[in-house]
Structure 1
Amino acid sequence: MKFSYVNPTQIHFGQGQISTVATSIPKDKKVLVIYGGGSIKKNGVYDQVSAALAEHTWTEFSGVEANPTVETLDKAVIIAKEQAIDYILAVGGGSVIDGSKYVAAAAMYEGNGWDILIGKHQVTEAIAIGAILTLPATGSESNSGSVITQKSTQTKLPFMADAVQPKFAVLDPDSMKTLPERQLVNGLVDAWVHVCEQYLTTATGTMVQDGYAEVLLKNLLTLAEQYDARDNNEWRSNLMWTANQALNGLIGSGVTHDWATHMIGHELTALYHVDHARSLSIIQPSLLRNQIEAKRAKLEQLGKNVFGFTASADLAERTIVAIEAFYHDVKVPTQLTEHGDDKVAAIDTIIKQLEAHGMVALGESQAITLDVTRQILEDAVA
């Protein structure tokens, strides 16, 4: 276990905390507020933002999609450049925050912003970012990662840069009150897989990271069990904080990571417009069955410490079934159905996209080659 860890994002957690934006952004900064489809104008968040920025000079950009596209975000980049924006305030879920990170970086670059995603440009500077989280799921509000889609080529790629780590994040559970059911469930599932990508790898004796990961997974199971009683501050607060902790860098410090489920899932989203969280629930069970021997020790540990199973020769197998049952309980799919009737053509298309994007050796040991991915997709595609 050897690592360096710091998380510089200041968290303002709890009801009424949107007001802290007033003092979190210096008053001499020109602010660009970025948000999505306009739901923040219906749930009162926009009015709270307006009040908090009453003494600031600010403008806004709306229309950031779920799975944000570079085609949309480049319009915000133009605004940021032309109006000499000093600070970006992202108001939304992971898509809005990810998109804002791209805008913050691309606005400081004279070339094509997509260069950031393909690795042609390394981000070392960006406009400062703050975030108001309205949909807990990705943890993007306090990490340095972003995932952006290029609609014209059906390409979805990630980038990471310290420069786009938000300076502060407001986590007010009241902002979740009007979320559609589908988005709440997606948040549960997304957080679950984020933990698994850092936990279900190799047994390395990291007691703190493993123990914390197991607590987060148990939280998510409990929240799913209590889903019918979700309309209260306690439930919302626990989901919001659990999802944040799942991907703020702590449980991933000093351990091996997987992320193959995400890389394959990104292609399902780009090609077939599958919700991000649902692309993960489609791929993960098949991937775990394919990689069961390499992951057996951690699957057994998860089975015992999270699901409460007793030891047995088939403990790893039972754990995968339990994960699948968790997905079915919250009514998310575990097989792809959006691809049409031609399974072979769909798999070929996904494989070609993965190859084009350099995703040819995935997983904690880079053992998931394109041939192995094809086997996983054979099981995951209905």
Structure 2
Amino acid sequence: MLEHGGNLRDAVRHFGRPLEDWLDLSTGINPHFYPAPPLADHAWHRLPEYSDALVQAAQSYYGAPRMLAVAGSQAVIQALPRLRRTARVLVSAPSYAEHAYQWRQAGHAVTECAYAGLDAAVGQADVVVLCNPNNPTGESISPTQLLRWATQLAARGGWLVVDEAFADTVSDISVTAHAEQPGLIVLRSVGKFFGLAGIRLGFVAAEENFLAQLANYLGPWSVSGPAQQIATAALTDQMWQSQMVQRLQQEGDRLHQLLKAHGMHTSGTDLFQWCSHHELDGQSEQLWQFMAERGIWLRWFAQGHHRPHGLRFGLPGSEAGWLRLENGLGEWCELKTVDHSPQRHRDTE
């Protein structure tokens, strides 16, 4: 399996610090998670039948004409490559690594392409897969461009797969409202914005016939009863959603400004910031190690073919966490200043 953020037990093993003594900034999950309501007894006792209330809540929240609830968008990322014959698949890069990985695992011919080159390459692909906004760089593509690509691909029986896992605070870039357009498949997740990654729930917006095919492939009872009840409450709580969008936009800007104040030029979303290896003067691994030794767990992306190379910073969930991050960055900058000071160079000559 590929490595992902949130792997705190790896941090414990490698650095010998107790689990409860870590500040986990390695994911893009909202640290201010939706407060799960008390659950009805039948959520635990009965087989989880298909919930019309859940799907209607999702369609209203995401602005989609039709949706299918699934056990996390990861389930769909794994299923899609197995619902097509061998195809030429174009995946944006750098991006969420599971997309290219799963299409390759299913035997498809996968080409990875930078965002800037996608438009020129779409004509040579049967399937195009991208994240919008992108994880981990935060890049985005306009809905107009995406719909044009979807039309091109559909004309030859192709798909455009758009992963909108981080689009909740930037809804103007979403194409869920157009998901009945042939060839367009949109993935959404309640794990990121709502901070409910543990319930493993996501949604797919697409044509009715495709959703029926996907539902048949995934089988019955794919979404647990507790997940359905919690998500229905979250998706219909408009006051919480509005307040959280505002809060995350403020905290996303706060994180951007904090990193900028410590000499880092970043990009990202309201839920994370990305700093490339180049912007870190080639010291992304050193900074990751330095912060980990202080109990701050970041997501380091090692160099690889078509892979991002750098660090992703998630949002701290408390003022104590913000202070801890600020102090860690301050110590790093002091260390770099000492290492590059003229006096130090004279002393080591």
TM-score range, shorter chain: 0.3 to 0.5
RCO higher in structure (CA 8 A, sep ≥6): 2
Q: Quick check: which has more Rg, 1 or 2?
A: 2
TM-score, normalised to structure 1, is: 0.31
